[in-house]
A and B are shown apart, each in its own frame.
Chain A
Amino acid sequence: MHFTWKIGGEAGFGIMTTGLIFSKISSRLGYQVLDYVEYPSLIRGGHNAYEVCVSDEEITALKKEINVLVCLNEETFYKHKDRLVKQSLVIYDKEDFDFDDDFKKIHVSLNKIVHDFKGQTVMKNTIALGASLAILGAKIEVLLDLIKEQFHKKGDQIIKFNQQFAIAGYEEVIKNYSSFLKNFLVEKNEKKEQLVLSGNDSFSLGAVLADCRFYSAYPMTPSSSVLHTLASWQEKTGMIVRHAEDEIAVINNALGASFAGVRAAVGTSGGGFSLMVESLSFAGVAEIPIVIFLAQRPGPATGMPTWTEQGDLLFAIFAGHGEFPKIVLAPGDQKEMFELTLKAFNLADIYQTPVIVVSDMYLSEGHKTVDKNWLKEVIDNYKINRGKINLIKNKAFKNKKPEIFLRYKITEDGISDKIIPGTPGYFYQENSYEHLEDGHTTEEKQPRKAQVEKRLRKWQTYLKNDFQLPKFYGDYSAEIVFISWGSNKGVVLSAQKKLNEKGIITGFYHFNHIYPLEKEKVYKLLKKNKRYILVENNALGQFGKILSMEIGLEIKEKILRYDGRPITVEDIIEKI
């Protein structure tokens, strides 16, 4: 089973919530899910659409064909009909519009039911969900359960009121379209417990379980849902989640918290990140650990706020004035987001430097099913490593005359011991100026050089201990080798599968430890005489530039997309 269900309607009428409910229903019934949302940067009036791809097996990319299209307005139909095929089912209300095209029409009296039950327009969604489950062969109970959970605080009457819309939609389809009914979404006998996670959800979960205790942010699409999720959890988790006055305050609040000894992170998109960059450099020289979640959207400037792009990679890698080490990671999917978020907090502490976790709207806001047991296993195996940060406040020193602590002691691995402010018996400063080992400002040649080298040595230590080479997918003997990074992982994997069906074998190097790169090892991997194809969701082929700069590899063939939409399987296949 492998189908796409899509719902569309006017912005502000609950499309997003409805889409996510459909994903959760499919997941609860035992299927795997990948979803994607399209919406304009406004609250009312534009077009919203949510598509959910459902399958028996893991889904790594969206598919072109829409099998069930739910049209809450006429625009939905005309915007998406180019992806319908003859067998596609169109759920709509004749009262809104009608069409002559040769698709399977499922008329549901959305307007009449809302009117009869004295409901609100937004309840058309519930009717449409009921109708969708009927046509797909699912039982209505799973939806009724979700409605019950959603409204459990509001009492039985509200629950029943909402459930009747679902039932009405369901029954109307069963009654009128018995010959159209499919068995696409029949509950599976053997089910794994699954979670439906967006990239942002994965980051949020990862941050909590990595013991991040301070998260600050300023709302910015597509990173905002991390702020919302962590804020909604804070009384349970104990994390302090702070919506500060601007992104400069956001990162400096977090740096203050980190200086004082807690794990801290910030989240933003390109514009907000731009504002943080001076402070990123501060974190670099003062050696303050920080995790920055950078969910990209198309720029420049305000750009296209609710769409996707990978246009900020070079900016992230080179952000900050002066030369200091930073680590850039770019997870390929929801699972990698979880693992690399956990890792990012360790790396920030071990190397006492900024770690940037790069996402984009496609990964941040799209959901995917993740096996709960897998998550549990990752969590059970995770060990917090705070490196040389010592939280133990030795009370034995309480009566000792405080002396200066060498916060920036020159070491072989570039990393110095840190005790936290308030530790009895010592004091020190962390300094945005160049400094001596004791933190005191200096402009002398020798200590300056020694501190620059000490800081940059952290990169060497990282490459030796924590860097990971790109993962290879496919056939090592293949002539065609894709090279990509971050959220393009899934679509390249899907394209490989399709090409394989056509008898074209391929290989694929997926990078998620983006910068710094272990040059010699990467060079060895990629020096072979192959047909390399770079796949990126930007116009300049930014990661290609990094490879060119670092290992001298010039990739001539590029599949680039920069219209605000994610790369599709078709984009890749047609170039082979």
Chain B
Amino acid sequence: MASIQDFTGYKPTWCPGCGDWGIGMAIKKALVDLNYSPDEIVVVFGIGCSGNMNDFLNAYSLHSLHGRAIANAIGIKLANHKLPVLAVVGDGDCYGEGGNHFLHGCRGNHDIKVIIHDNRVYGLTTGQSTPTSPKGYRSKSTPMGLIEIPINPLALALISGATFVAQSFAGDINHLTLTIKEAMNHKGFSVINVLQPCVTFNKINTYQYYLQRIYRLDKNHPKDNFQRALEKSLEVNKEKFPLGVIYQIRRLCYHEQINQISSSTLVDKKRFFDYDVLSRDFF
């Protein structure tokens, strides 16, 4: 059985106090708890402080381009659907640069677990505003205040067709570990929006800020009720942050609907060689 140590790679380069430490630990704990070993999982990383986890987490992994992790994860899952596939991404990465992939990933219900480090800034490029920064947010790229209103990650995931939508907090490793485990056990596109303080660049959405505004969802929250989930997702407008699985339903995954891989993974299939059956089309 693997231990936390087995999943631990190089020493992280995150700032002391960064929410990434908590997220990194929760991912490892979840994988250990679920009895995975580093050779049994695939993790795709985007670019950003979140993506830098690539060197700190032992697994088969692909450190992708900014915004493209979900697109790579989809290809990996289709090529070998027996492998659990995680995408570790940031808010600018996933909702900005890769927004289109996020929308269509939800829609396709690809069996991928997407863990979004939502710190509302571009940390690695020194603190510019992101799609989740509040209106009026002043940063190096928006010195007079951000003009746009923020996107709503949970609502976006819901209306786009994600079948598992959750929120957690980088400061609550136990809750996050539990949520990741639930996502790993879910079949389908799983979105975990992780509220994460950036201690270096975001002076507004701090640990204190979140601690005053987060609350755990009631045990009786009806996870399969879309309307109620949508209502929960809108609480962000009142600066309230429900933690937990706000929505979960079972809908067939993308790969489960492809006959070609119903009895074997794509990578393990026998080679097709019947040239005659194809050439008939050209006669």
Contact = CB atoms under 8 A, between A and B. Distances in A.
Interface of A: 24, 27-28, 193-197, 201, 205, 208-209, 211, 213-214, 216, 229, 233-240, 242, 244-246, 248-249, 252-262, 264, 278-279, 282, 286, 372, 375-376, 379, 384, 391, 401-402, 404, 420-433, 440-441
Contact of B39 (A257, A372, A425, A431): A425
Contacts of A440: 9-10, 55
Given A205-B279, A441-B52, 15 more contacts: A213-B79, A237-B272, A240-B261, A244-B74, A248-B100, A249-B101, A253-B75, A256-B73, A424-B39, A425-B39, A427-B38, A427-B58, A427-B61, A432-B63, A441-B54
Contact of A421 (B60, B65, B269): B60
Nearest to A197: B282
Contacts of A27: 283
7 contacts: A194-B283, A208-B278, A249-B104, A402-B6, A428-B61, A429-B63, A441-B52
Contact of B266 (A213, A244, A441): A213
B4 interface: no
B18 interface: no
B59 interface: yes
B94 interface: no
B79 A214 contact: yes
Contacts of A404: 58
A131 B273 CA distance: 40
A256 B275 contact: no
A416 to B, nearest CB: 16
A554 B245 CA distance: 67
Contact of B75 (A209, A260, A430): A260
A426 B282 CA distance: 46
B281 to A, nearest CB: 8
A430 B278 contact: no
A248 B71 contact: yes
Interface residues of B, number: 58
B75 A238 contact: no
Contacts of B252: none
A201 B61 CA distance: 36
Contacts, number: 198
Contacts of A229: 281
Contacts of B71: 244, 248-249, 252-253, 256
Nearest to B78: A240
Contact of A260 (B39, B65, B76): B76
A239 B62 contact: no
Interface string B12-52: 00000000000000000000000001111010100100001
Contacts of B103: 245
Interface in B232-283: 258-261, 266-267, 269, 271-275, 277-279, 281-283
A194 B283 CA distance: 7
Q: Which 8 A-B pairs have the closest CB atoms?
A: A256-B75, A252-B71, A260-B79, A421-B60, A256-B72, A257-B75, A195-B282, A253-B75
B275 A258 contact: no
A132 B104 CA distance: 49
B120 interface: no
Contacts of A24: 283
B64 interface: yes
B228 interface: no
Contacts of B37: 402
Contacts of B39: 402, 422-427
Contacts of B283: 24, 27-28, 193-196
Contacts of B80: 260-261, 420-422
Contacts of A238: 260, 266, 269, 272
B247 to A, nearest CB: 22
A208 B261 contact: no
A24 B275 CA distance: 19
A29 to B, nearest CB: 12
Contact of A278 (B54, B61, B65): B65
B63 A372 contact: no
Given A248-B68, A279-B65, A391-B267, A253 B78 contact: yes
Contact of B63 (A258, A260, A431): A431
Contact of B83 (A237, A286, A402, A421): A421
Given A248-B71, A404-B58, A257 B78 contact: yes
A372 B273 contact: no
B135 interface: no
Interface in B165-182: none
A261 B278 contact: no
Contact of A422 (B55, B83, B259, B266): B83
B62 A286 contact: yes
A234 B278 CA distance: 11
A259 B65 contact: no
Contact of B279 (A257, A375, A431): A375
A235 B75 contact: no
Nearest to A236: B277
A258 B71 CA distance: 13
Nearest to B57: A429
B82 interface: yes
Given A375-B275, A421-B83, A429-B61, A402 B38 contact: yes
Contacts of B58: 402, 404, 427
Contact of B62 (A201, A256, A379): A256
Contact of B100 (A239, A249, A256, A426): A249
A236 B274 contact: yes
A213 B104 contact: no
A280 B113 CA distance: 25
A309 to B, nearest CB: 26
